[in-house]
């Protein structure tokens, strides 16, 4: 692992960004515990500044730039949350931010980027179109590219959410986070395994955008050409950096259906009174709808097929062994277009 991805770098990122982000709360619900047959601890990044965890990585990256680099401004491509976070972080430092946004991004996320002062360039909703547009902007402006996930500074910033959760709620059996390009899950896995080696780290992904699931099963990156999911923040594919981290540190990836994502959103709204976007509900849905599998905590993980036959649980006896599993769940964002809710 790179020296820039260890706990030293993660703790440095936490100190660097602390004045500029929220230390988000952890919510509980007895009714949701009963539904999942587990103790659930929800890390509420939907209540984070800019409405998602993305400000952690963006702030860490922007605040890490030299004065010479920062003077050139920053640029990225984003379906919304990273773009808004980067625009916000750039404003904190008083520099320009250039954001390439797919035309089908939710209106609430487009408005957030503009409200934070980001200069938006729209493109077709394909990875090729994003990359072509960002190449042109970098050539025209000389801005520094801050990639949404293929950047160690981004990954260490995102890792601070798991760091906070495990500082507040120790002795978790598993930590669940959504996966798209892999920045959040990579940072989560590095921090969790360093702080609590026996913890299971579980990636959660829409069945209609299952490139991480397929990639880990195949042992090579399997890009998603045309993802079909309501979870607009989870349509990206892994990169070599995040793929390598996930192979080393993640115990398994599980899939949830579109109906389960929507019902997970509804339950979080009803039981926790939290506005959570589809992408933010994916990890919760995996726990609530039995996606961890029967006997998930009965033995060691088997990574031979990239999915895992079981999740490791600390060797305990007596009452501790009989208790319900303790699951940490990262609710990654809350930027949902209220005029286009998937339920009525």
Report, as residue numbers or ranges, the catalytic residues.
54, 79
Residue pair 212/269 in contact by the 8 Å Cβ criterion: no
H/E run at residue 39: strand 39-44
The b-or-e profile of 37-73 (16+ CB within 10 A means b, else e) is ebbbbbbbbbbbbbbbbbbbbbbbbbbbbeeeebeeb
Classify residue 19 by burial, with Cβ atoms within 10 Å: 0-12, 13-18, 19+. Answer: exposed
Find the distance separating the first CA and the last CA of the chain, reported in whole Å.
47
Residue pair 218/273 in contact by the 8 Å Cβ criterion: no
Residue pair 53/161 in contact by the 8 Å Cβ criterion: yes
What does the DSSP assignment read for 287-338? Answer: HHTTTT-TTTTSS----TTSS-SS-------THHHHSPPEEEEEE-B----G
| Residue carrying the six token digits 């919304």 | 80
Per DSSP, what are the bridge partners of residue 254?
Answer: 204
Q: Using alpha carbons, select from 210, 310, 286 the residue that is nearest to residue 40.
A: 286
Residue pair 256/213 in contact by the 8 Å Cβ criterion: no
β pairing state of 174-178 and 144-145: unpaired
Q: From the CB of residue 294, how many other CB atoms can be counted at a distance below 10 Å? A: 7
Measured between alpha carbons, how far is 64 from 4 in angstroms, rounded to an integer? 12
The length of the chain in residues reads: 344
As a whole number of Å, the CA-based R_g of the chain is: 19
């Amino acid at each position: 692992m790179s020296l820039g991805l260890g706990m030293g770098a993660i703790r440095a990122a936490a100190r660097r960004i602390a004045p500029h982000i929220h230390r988000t709360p952890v919510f509980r619900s007895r009714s949701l515990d009963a539904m999942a047959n587990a103790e659930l601890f929800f890390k509420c990044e939907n209540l984070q500044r800019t409405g998602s965890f993305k400000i952690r990585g963006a702030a860490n990256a922007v605040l890490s730039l030299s004065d010479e680099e920062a003077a050139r401004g920053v640029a990225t491509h984003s379906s919304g949350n990273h773009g808004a976070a980067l625009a916000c972080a750039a404003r904190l430092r008083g520099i320009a931010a250039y954001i390439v946004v797919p035309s089908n991004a939710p209106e609430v996320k487009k408005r957030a980027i503009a409200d934070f002062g980001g200069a938006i360039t729209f493109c077709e909703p394909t990875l090729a179109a994003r990359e072509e547009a960002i190449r042109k902007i970098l050539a025209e402006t000389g801005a520094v590219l801050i990639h949404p996930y293929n950047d160690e500074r981004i990954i260490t910033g995102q890792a601070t959410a798991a760091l906070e959760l495990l500082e507040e709620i120790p002795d978790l059996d598993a930590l669940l986070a959504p996966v798209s390009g892999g920045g959040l899950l990579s940072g989560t896995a590095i921090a969790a395994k360093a702080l609590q080696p026996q913890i299971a780290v579980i990636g959660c992904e829409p069945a209609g955008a299952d490139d991480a699931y397929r990639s880990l099963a195949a042992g090579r990156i399997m890009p998603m050409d045309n993802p079909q999911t309501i979870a607009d923040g989870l349509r990206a594919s892994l990169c070599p950096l995040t793929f390598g981290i996930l192979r080393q540190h993640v115990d398994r990836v599980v899939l949830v259906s579109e109906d389960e994502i929507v019902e997970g959103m509804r339950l979080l709204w009803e039981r926790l009174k939290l506005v959570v976007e589809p992408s933010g509900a994916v990890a919760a849905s995996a726990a609530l709808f039995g996606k961890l599998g029967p006997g998930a905590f009965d033995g060691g993980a088997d990574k031979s097929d990239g999915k895992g036959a079981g999740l490791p649980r600390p060797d305990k006896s007596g009452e501790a062994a009989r208790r319900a599993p303790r699951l940490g769940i990262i609710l990654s964002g809350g930027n949902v277009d209220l005029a286009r809710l998937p339920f009525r």
